[in-house]
A and B are shown apart, each in its own frame.
Chain A
Amino acid sequence: MTFGGVILKASLFVTCIADMMYAEVGESTVRVLRRLGVDLDFPEGQTCCGQPAYSCGYHKEAAHVAKKVIEVFEHSERIIMPSGSCASMVHHGYPELFRGDPVWEKKAHEFVHKTYEFSQFIVDVLGVTDVGATFNKKVTYHSSCHMSRLLGIEEQPKTLLKNVKGLDFVELPYAFDCCGFGGTFSMKLSDISGAIVEEKVDHIVETGAEVLVGCDLTCLMNIGGRLSRRGIPVKVMHLAQVLDQGV
């Protein structure tokens, strides 16, 4: 597929969590986007968006890493991230980190303007709502906080899911409630975090879904970790993995 005869060039910012823990999500992201005709590269040198330090109050340390990331993607036309929270770190955190900096503020804004979350890129930029996947499962969707509230991406992932052949979509009650991850919150205040994720898991069980889908790997790691600990056989998948099925 080409877009008006033009092949869209884009770069994958896979995020450290996908790089380290979920290579298969990165692979699906690449396959789905390439199938849609995107010429995708993976710029060397990329690491982490800086969110862990930023949300703990360590802005200097976050800025140090963020500068590196901005440099790595300097020549990219578009950047795609398979993570709503990391993309919102770019959109909201970067301008804040470099506010008033004569050199980096401008660069940060340029970076923001070319950065997209995965489902947002497919639906809003490519204009595609059906990627041609088939998945014969009952699926529910957790709407992660930063993606929905900070980036305003609510419908795009659900639209893509509902157009997957064979997929039985069921709404998750309180889908917009936080899963309790919150970065280091999940360790510093683990007892509260544990109570919050328990509510989320209970709601997932209520739906009777076989698969929980999300667009944020850290939320999925949190929810999946609780499901695993409770021995509940609900499979956890990133949206990209579902869109990569049956093609």
Chain B
Amino acid sequence: MHIEPSFRRRYQKALADQVMIKAVKLGTGRLRGKRAQAIEEVGQERWANFRNRAEAIRLHVIQHLDQYLEQLIDNVLKKGGHVCLAKTGEEAVRYIEELAKKKNAKNIVKSKSMVSEEIHLNPALEKMGCKVIESDLGEWIIQLANETPSHIIVPAMHKNRFQVADLFNAVNTGPKIPAETADLCAFARQYLRQQFMNIDIGITGCNFAIADSGAVTICTNEGNARIVSALAPTMVTIMGMERILPSIEELAVMLSLLARSATGQKLTVYNTLSTGVRIGEELDGPQEFHLVIVDNGRSKLLGSKYEKVLNCIRCGSCLNACPVYRNIGGHAYGWVYPGPIGAVLSPLYQGMDKYGELAYASTLCGACHVACPVKIPLHDMLYALRNDKVELEKKGELVEDITFKGWSAAFATMSRYRFSIRMARRFQFPLVKAGKIAFGPPPISDWLKYRDMPALPDKFFHEVWPELNKDRKE
């Protein structure tokens, strides 16, 4: 597989940014450690049971997605909400643009939503002249930096507190804020609270929509989604079409699994269930509620060998487990979702042509599928995507095509295999120095950039075997 220069540039830039990598390693390390501790507390066996139940719930939902979608939509409508079922990201954006126009909205406050990143909602709304404010601390930091999230649950993981202080001080009119976490949080709290006061439209993401009640569940550690949903006269919730649970029963399993997998918490601090518009004598809640359900490539996976990827609950645990993610961060992956889940989702949602190479951005170590709370076989999917790339799309690389055809022909016959390794041994001498190879031509030059390689020895094992086997009685 040919690695596109654009991807190469992205990850090389990331590798060179030691400040960023240090922040990512610190962040992923913390999350990984806390998750491990949480599992230890629960006990390995119970954790395994938890995962099995969660997997079964998600599989059931995905297999009956049409039914649950219908039920969800019915219940939202019954409770006075509006629903947009958007086939594409553009459709979803257009619906929200229309709404903003109708409401003559000036101030839009958002809580965290990866789907909104996926459909590029903010730039569209800003182009209309709306002021869009991200109220999740991490999202706000990257909004100030004019960047995209680098992690699914910790969008500003790649920044350290000094960088955050610089960003905050750029919008701060008061005395300079020191680069201390407590001071930075206090400033963010004070600044963001003001934004809530004159909110026209509130936009939230959705962790799980509950089919039998039409409620949307939003989990935050900052309480910002709760404020958005309580204060906004018009509330919009954006969700991926697969993020449904049948009832509140299943939510109990998923919430405790989500928090433990994501951050090692027993439960996220604020778990908000919102059933849309305020009814009768209720004191808060929006007057208008719109649920925007986004397909954007998801439905084509139903019934395919990649269907299980729709089980994903966006906990980010596979990112923290991935040695590649930990060493290049999220932006290098190129699309919204990074890490192993991104390496699988990006080509499936956005096309193999565009992101197929991400399937090769993995050592195939399998840490991702072990980390996944809903047991998505990410590891197997990376193999399958590579195979699709080569065999279905005929998008192998010419050199690699020839190499593996030749390899296959030679290694299927012992005599040819032995002949080829003998030839390699005979002609390696210009490269060998003191029993090892440190310099050489491509492609081994790539290996030799970081490591030495042992020279092929004087005797292969099959040449030693007759001597070893002398005394064996047949």
CB pair A21–B363 under 8 Å, yes or no, is no
Q: Which of A127-135, A163-171, A220-228 contacts B (4 or more CB under 8 A)?
A: A220-228
CB pair B383–A54 under 8 Å, yes or no, is yes
Task: State how many angstroms separate the Cβ of A77 from the closest Cβ of chain B.
Answer: 15
CB pair A190–B3 under 8 Å, yes or no, is no
CB pair B367–A145 under 8 Å, yes or no, is yes
Residue B50 CB within 8 A of the other chain: no
A199 neighbours in B (Cβ, 8 Å): 323, 327
Q: Which of A45-53, A101-109, A110-118, A203-211 contacts B (4 or more CB under 8 A)?
A: A45-53
CB-CB under 8 A for A65 and B411, given A53-B404, A177-B323: yes
A27 neighbours in B (Cβ, 8 Å): 461, 464, 468
Task: State how many angstroms separate the Cβ of B225 from the closest Cβ of chain A.
Answer: 34
CB-CB under 8 A for A190 and B447, given A23-B460, A56-B1, A56-B404: yes
Residue A1 CB within 8 A of the other chain: no
CB pair B452–A228 under 8 Å, yes or no, is yes
Task: State how many angstroms separate the Cβ of B150 from the closest Cβ of chain A.
Answer: 16
B400 neighbours in A (Cβ, 8 Å): 56, 58
Q: Which of B55-63, B294-302, B386-394 contacts A (4 or more CB under 8 A)?
A: B386-394
A residues 29-48 touching B (CB-CB < 8 Å): 30, 39-42, 44-48
A96 neighbours in B (Cβ, 8 Å): 380, 383
With the chains together, A190 CA to B327 CA distance in Å?
A: 12
Task: State how many angstroms separate the Cβ of A147 from the closest Cβ of chain B.
Answer: 10
CB pair A194–B450 under 8 Å, yes or no, is yes
B residues 242-275 touching A (CB-CB < 8 Å): none
CB-CB under 8 A for A193 and B365, given A42-B465, A59-B391, A65-B408: no
A58 neighbours in B (Cβ, 8 Å): 387, 390-391, 396, 400, 404, 408
Interface of A (DSSP majority class): helix
A3 neighbours in B (Cβ, 8 Å): none
CB pair A20–B414 under 8 Å, yes or no, is no
With the chains together, A228 CA to B452 CA distance in Å?
A: 6
CB pair B452–A57 under 8 Å, yes or no, is no
Q: Give the size range of A's interface with the partner.
A: 35 or more
A16 neighbours in B (Cβ, 8 Å): 411, 417
> Per a CB cutoff under 8 Å, which of A40, A53, A192 touches B324?
A192
CB pair B451–A222 under 8 Å, yes or no, is yes
Residue B436 CB within 8 A of the other chain: yes
Q: Which of B185-193, B310-318, B438-446 contacts A (4 or more CB under 8 A)?
A: B438-446
CB pair B3–A47 under 8 Å, yes or no, is no
With the chains together, A94 CA to B13 CA distance in Å?
A: 38
Interface of B (DSSP majority class): helix
A145 neighbours in B (Cβ, 8 Å): 363-367
With the chains together, A185 CA to B446 CA distance in Å?
A: 10
B residues 105-163 touching A (CB-CB < 8 Å): none
Q: Which A residue's beta carbon lies closest to that of B443?
A: A187
A residues 117-155 touching B (CB-CB < 8 Å): 145-146, 149-150
B404 neighbours in A (Cβ, 8 Å): 52-53, 56, 58, 61
B449 neighbours in A (Cβ, 8 Å): 190-191, 194
B residues 421-454 touching A (CB-CB < 8 Å): 421, 436, 438, 443-444, 446-447, 449-454
Q: B214-255 toward A: CB 8 Å interface, digit per residue (1/0)?
A: 000000000000000000000000000000000000000000
Q: Give the size range of B's interface with the partner.
A: 35 or more
A162 neighbours in B (Cβ, 8 Å): none
CB pair B366–A229 under 8 Å, yes or no, is no
Task: State how many angstroms separate the Cβ of B400 from the closest Cβ of chain A.
Answer: 7
With the chains together, A188 CA to B380 CA distance in Å?
A: 20
CB pair A189–B11 under 8 Å, yes or no, is yes
CB pair B417–A47 under 8 Å, yes or no, is yes
B365 neighbours in A (Cβ, 8 Å): 145-146, 149, 178, 182
Among A39, A48, A188, A190: residue with most chain B CB under 10 A: A188
> Per a CB cutoff under 8 Å, which of A23, A180, A224 touches B461?
A23
With the chains together, A15 CA to B213 CA distance in Å?
A: 58
CB-CB under 8 A for A55 and B383, given A61-B405, A192-B11, A192-B328: yes
With the chains together, A189 CA to B324 CA distance in Å?
A: 10
A197 neighbours in B (Cβ, 8 Å): 450-451
With the chains together, A196 CA to B450 CA distance in Å?
A: 11
CB pair A196–B408 under 8 Å, yes or no, is no
Residue B280 CB within 8 A of the other chain: no
> Per a CB cutoff under 8 Å, which of B391, B453, B459 touches A57?
B391
Residue A181 CB within 8 A of the other chain: yes
CB pair B327–A21 under 8 Å, yes or no, is no
CB pair B1–A188 under 8 Å, yes or no, is yes
> Per a CB cutoff under 8 Å, which of A18, A52, A185, A193 touches B450?
A193
Residue A186 CB within 8 A of the other chain: yes
Task: State how many angstroms separate the Cβ of A11 from the closest Cβ of chain B.
Answer: 12
Residue A64 CB within 8 A of the other chain: yes
> Per a CB cutoff under 8 Å, which of A20, A53, A183 touches B421?
A20
With the chains together, A61 CA to B446 CA distance in Å?
A: 24
A-B contact pairs, 7 of them (CB 8 A): A27-B468, A52-B404, A58-B391, A68-B411, A96-B380, A178-B365, A225-B451
Q: Residues of A at under 8 Å CB distance from B? A: 14, 16, 18-23, 26-27, 30, 39-42, 44-48, 50, 52-62, 64-65, 67-68, 96, 145-146, 149-150, 176-178, 180-183, 185-199, 221-222, 224-226, 228-229
A-B interface, 7 closest residue pairs, ranked by CB to CB distance from nearest: A225-B451, A182-B363, A57-B386, A194-B450, A178-B365, A61-B408, A57-B390
